[in-house]
């Protein structure tokens, strides 16, 4: 099925309409308000096949149809915002020995040994999913639209990879959604500085800039050509003025000199106009913000360097089959932790962390 039509049928369903596939297309019943808004009958057969669409009562709805564009615009304006809770792990938490093995298998701490120091506690780790529509303008008559998405752990502000994102997308959801408190949403998305959200924006902005650079590079050949044409046109004009100037009587020569000045000004204006026409731009229009509650177990640990224990904790997330990434408790870097003589840090902040091994 045409992706545009598929999207529109989902939109109809979301607005309370009905869609039923048949041999001749999809029978669609629209709520009266929606039918009026879209200027369509309340009952119709929608198809993406132009041959079928010749029959009476059948409407050809494919990418580019005004009804689809209107629905897409409405969906983008309303946005797709919500809290999604994943199904809680069934059964008891993993035993201390199993957790101990997993910790040592998944994590390393320089100069330190990780020991489970207590019972795991059931937690929900907030993860943000942010989607945006990016419009790239690479010249006055060339624009592209693309969808970007970014998943960020709202606690560590670390971006999740595509594998983790698809695991979360496929993770089972509970039959009945859990209660969502405003405090929860505030803490993950709307806190004073909303670090997770700021990080998501930063990631989207950086990806969009990279993509814009690649698209602009494709347009730069046309840019160079147009600049080249304009330059050679003005070079010719100026050469001809110079020739006439050199052969002219003094009074006429003065006039021609003034013409040359204004021609140079006109050339500079024209070249600036061409540069402006090819100046790449992009616009980010966010349309999705999901707060996912990813269930897991918080495992209290002690990281030991010799007799010295540093208390810490790691979150085991069964949906990801991994521990959540934790930042360095001292400098907030995303780095391998390092147990120092006086504090727990990481490879980037622990003075002499690496020197320790030297004699």
Q: Which residues bind Zn ion (CB under 5 A)?
A: 328, 330-331, 333, 345-346, 349
Question: DSSP states of 313-351 as a string?
Answer: EEEEETTTTEEPP---TTT---S-EEE-SSSEEETTT-T
Q: CB 85 → Zn ion: shortest distance, Å?
A: 33
Q: CB 103 → Zn ion: shortest distance, Å?
A: 19
Q: CB 332 → Zn ion: shortest distance, Å?
A: 7
Question: What kind and span of H or E run contains 60?
Answer: strand 58-60
279: three-class secondary structure by DSSP: coil
State the Cα–Cα distance between residues 166 and 160, nearest whole angstrom.
10
Please report, to the nearest 10 degrees, the dihedral formed by the alpha carbons of residues 329, 335, 338, 343 taken in order: -20
Q: CB 6 → Zn ion: shortest distance, Å?
A: 48
State the Cα–Cα distance between residues 112 and 157, nearest whole angstrom.
25
Alpha helices in the chain (DSSP H): 3-14, 32-38, 66-78, 96-106, 162-170, 182-185, 195-247, 250-277
**Residue with smaller CB distance to Zn ion, 31 or 195:** 195
**Residue with smaller CB distance to Zn ion, 48 or 326:** 326
User: How many Å from the N-terminal Cα to the C-terminal Cα in the chain?
Assistant: 69
Q: CB 344 → Zn ion: shortest distance, Å?
A: 9
Q: CB 169 → Zn ion: shortest distance, Å?
A: 32
**Residue with smaller CB distance to Zn ion, 270 or 347:** 347
127: three-class secondary structure by DSSP: strand
**Residue with smaller CB distance to Zn ion, 140 or 331:** 331
130: closest CA among 203, 77, 206? 203
Q: CB 127 → Zn ion: shortest distance, Å?
A: 23
**Residue with smaller CB distance to Zn ion, 112 or 345:** 345
Q: CB 110 → Zn ion: shortest distance, Å?
A: 11
**Residue with smaller CB distance to Zn ion, 79 or 351:** 351
**Residue with smaller CB distance to Zn ion, 69 or 331:** 331
CB atoms within 10 A of CB 326: 18
According to DSSP, the residues that pair with 59 across neighbouring strands are 46
CB atoms within 10 A of CB 80: 14
**Residue with smaller CB distance to Zn ion, 159 or 327:** 327
**Any residues with CB less than 8 A from the CB of 152 and at least 6 apart, and which?**
127, 128, 130, 158, 159, 160, 196, 197, 199, 200, 203
> Is residue 106 within 8 Å of 187, Cβ to Cβ?
no
**Residue with smaller CB distance to Zn ion, 48 or 157:** 157
**Residue with smaller CB distance to Zn ion, 291 or 339:** 339
Q: CB 170 → Zn ion: shortest distance, Å?
A: 34
Q: CB 339 → Zn ion: shortest distance, Å?
A: 12
CB atoms within 10 A of CB 278: 19
């Amino acid at each position: 099925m045409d992706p545009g039509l598929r999207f529109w049928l989902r939109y109809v369903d979301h607005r309370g309409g009905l869609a039923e596939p048949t041999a001749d297309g999809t029978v669609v019943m629209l709520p009266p308000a929606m039918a009026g808004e879209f200027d369509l009958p309340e009952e119709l057969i929608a198809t993406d096949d132009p041959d079928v669409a010749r029959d009476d009562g059948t409407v050809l709805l494919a990418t580019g149809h005004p009804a689809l564009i209107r629905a897409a615009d409405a969906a983008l304006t309303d946005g797709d915002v919500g809290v999604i809770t994943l199904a809680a792990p069934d059964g008891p938490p993993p035993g201390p020995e199993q957790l101990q093995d997993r910790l040592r298998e998944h994590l390393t701490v320089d100069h330190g040994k990780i020991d489970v120091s207590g019972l795991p506690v059931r937690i929900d780790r907030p993860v943000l999913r942010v989607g945006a529509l990016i419009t790239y303008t690479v010249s006055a008559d060339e624009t592209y639209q693309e969808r970007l998405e970014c998943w960020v752990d709202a606690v560590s502000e670390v971006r999740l990879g595509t594998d983790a994102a698809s695991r979360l997308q496929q993770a089972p959801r509970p039959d009945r959604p859990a209660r969502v408190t405003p405090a929860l949403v505030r803490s993950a998305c709307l806190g004073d500085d909303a670090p997770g959200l700021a990080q998501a924006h930063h990631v989207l902005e950086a990806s969009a800039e990279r993509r814009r650079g690649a698209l602009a590079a494709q347009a730069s050949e046309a840019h160079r050509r147009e600049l080249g044409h304009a330059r050679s046109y003005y070079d010719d004009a100026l050469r001809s003025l110079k020739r006439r100037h050199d052969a002219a009587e003094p009074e006429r020569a003065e006039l021609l000199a003034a013409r040359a000045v204004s021609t140079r000004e006109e050339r500079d204006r024209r070249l600036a106009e061409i540069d402006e026409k090819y100046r790449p731009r992009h616009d980010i229009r966010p349309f999705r913000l999901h707060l996912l509650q990813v269930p897991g177990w918080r495992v209290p640990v002690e990281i030991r360097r010799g007799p010295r224990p540093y208390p810490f904790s790691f979150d085991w997330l069964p949906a990801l089959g991994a521990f959540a990434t934790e930042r360095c408790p001292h400098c907030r870097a995303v780095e391998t932790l390092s147990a120092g003589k006086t504090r727990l840090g990481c490879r980037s902040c622990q003075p002499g962390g690496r020197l320790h091994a030297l004699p």
